[in-house]
Amino acid sequence: MVRPYENYVDYLNNTICIPSVQPYIAIDMFAGCGGLSLGFEAAGIKTIGYEMVADCCETYRKNLNSECHQAKITIETEFPKVDLIIGGPPCQPFSRRGKQTGKNDERNGFPAFIEAVRKVQPAIWVCENVKGLPEQNKEYFQNIIEEFIALGYIVEYRVFQLVKYDVPQNRERLVIVGHRGGFQFPEPNEYKVTAGEALGHLTTEIPENAAFLTPAMDEYIAKYEAASKCKNPRDLHLDRPARTLTCRNLAGATSDMHRIKLPDGRRRRITVREAARLQSFPDWFEFSGTEESQFTQIGNAVPPMFAFKLATKIKEYLDNIKGQEVDV
């Protein structure tokens, strides 16, 4: 398929914006800074966020112009009646980096998500998580699916390579959808967007707040790359999609951190705006809090462009239901 735009940054800024007409309402559980919500809002679905971290709530309210309740979600939390529920229950209990305590970890957000679906009975719900969940926690994952089926939903899940959905980054996520028949996942592109296309002129300038790596850090990176037999230096390559952005490799000064190597050999960390572009946040979206907090919000987010493509299909599904109700 031919790319439907010439300039990625223009496409991003023109596509991920909030329309004045939004016929449906969603609850976003574990909303973070609102990456997932932003894609849904752009597709015409108003969102209400629930999130416990103050900076995230501030970012969400400021940009989405929507409510974000600052609260710790539990199975007791009450929600309003809405058309759909979306959200990414915390994935630390299941990620490869964590200890994989899974279902017994008190941070596990699935019980609260299932309870919310049970109480609200939305027309459709969407849950995103780490790609390894179905394999690495097979039994628990099957239990979750069975609980959702028992609530009366057809449950489908798929691991998505987000780079095939206009996200300039190699990032894979699991998406689980519960519906009552007739929902279709979005189809992948045959092309990929590179980091260079997404960053545009940002990389040709040295920003005022540039943070350069120290010689000791350069030395550490060289040793790390030699020891781990890293085939490609982990600097950002502008001619291909970026590596997965995470809170760890954005917010922490580790050997794995995202950085750009300048023609003079110096390396600088990518800025908050560059990280936001690689996660497909439009330029008008501003993050609250310290730099570390902003990087964490970005690394944790669902890329809004992917969320938009998924939400467009969800909206089609809701439109069809509405059409059928009118026909009756």
Ligand X SMILES: C[S@@+](CC[C@H](N)C(=O)[O-])C[C@H]1O[C@@H](n2cnc3c(N)ncnc32)[C@H](O)[C@@H]1O
Q: Does 16 bind ligand X (CB under 6 A)?
A: no
Choose one: 152-160, 188-196, 269-277, 297-305; the region binding ligand X (CB under 6 A). Answer: 297-305
Q: Does 299 bind ligand X (CB under 6 A)?
A: no
* Nearest distance, CB of residue 320 and ligand X, angstroms: 26
CA 76 – CA 74 distance, rounded (Å): 5
Q: Cα-flanking dihedrals φ and ψ of residue 76, to 5°?
A: -85, -15
Among 12, 16, 27, 32, binds ligand X (CB under 6 A): 32
Q: What's CA 15's distance to the chain center, in Å?
A: 16
* Nearest distance, CB of residue 207 and ligand X, angstroms: 24
Name residues contacting ligand X, limited to 103-142 (CB under 6 A): 109
CB 67 within 8 A of CB 51: no
Choose one: 32-40, 133-141, 181-189, 266-274; the region binding ligand X (CB under 6 A). Answer: 32-40
Q: Does 301 bind ligand X (CB under 6 A)?
A: yes
CB 240 within 8 A of CB 194: yes
Q: Running DSSP on this structure, what letter comes out for residue 207?
A: -
Among 7, 14, 23, 52, binds ligand X (CB under 6 A): 52
Selected catalytic residue, list 56, 57, 68, 91 = 91
CB 172 within 8 A of CB 160: yes
Return the structure tokens found at 219.
């030395």
Q: Does 300 bind ligand X (CB under 6 A)?
A: yes
* Nearest distance, CB of residue 58 and ligand X, angstroms: 12
HSE (CB half, 13 Å, CA atoms) of 201? 1
Residues 6+ apart with CB under 8 A from 6: none
Q: Does 36 bind ligand X (CB under 6 A)?
A: yes
* Nearest distance, CB of residue 40 and ligand X, angstroms: 10
Nearer to ligand X, 221 or 287 (CB): 287
Choose one: 8-16, 31-39, 189-197, 252-260; the region binding ligand X (CB under 6 A). Answer: 31-39
Nearer to ligand X, 247 or 262 (CB): 247
Q: Running DSSP on this structure, what letter comes out for residue 28?
A: E
Among 12, 16, 48, 53, binds ligand X (CB under 6 A): 53
Q: Which residue is nearest to ligand X (CB)?
A: 32
CA 311 – CA 23 distance, rounded (Å): 13
Q: Which residues of 154-175 are buried (b: 16+ CB within 10 A; e: fewer)?
A: ebebeebbbbbbbbbbebebbb
CA 254 – CA 264 distance, rounded (Å): 22
Choose one: 13-21, 48-56, 180-188, 318-326; the region binding ligand X (CB under 6 A). Answer: 48-56
* Nearest distance, CB of residue 52 and ligand X, angstroms: 4
3-class secondary structure, 312: helix
Choose one: 173-181, 258-266, 294-302, 314-322; the region binding ligand X (CB under 6 A). Answer: 294-302
Please give the biggest Cα pair distance in the chain: 71
Name residues contacting ligand X, limited to 143-202 (CB under 6 A): none
275 sits in which H/E element? helix 272-278
* Annotation says 127 is catalytic: no
Nearer to ligand X, 60 or 183 (CB): 60
Q: Which of 29, 90, 43 is nearest to 317 (CA)?
A: 43
Residue with token string 């305590």 = 101
Among 45, 57, 73, 174, binds ligand X (CB under 6 A): 73
CB 57 within 8 A of CB 70: yes
Residues binding ligand X (CB under 6 A): 30-36, 50-53, 56, 72-73, 88, 90, 109, 300-302
Active-site annotation, residues: 91
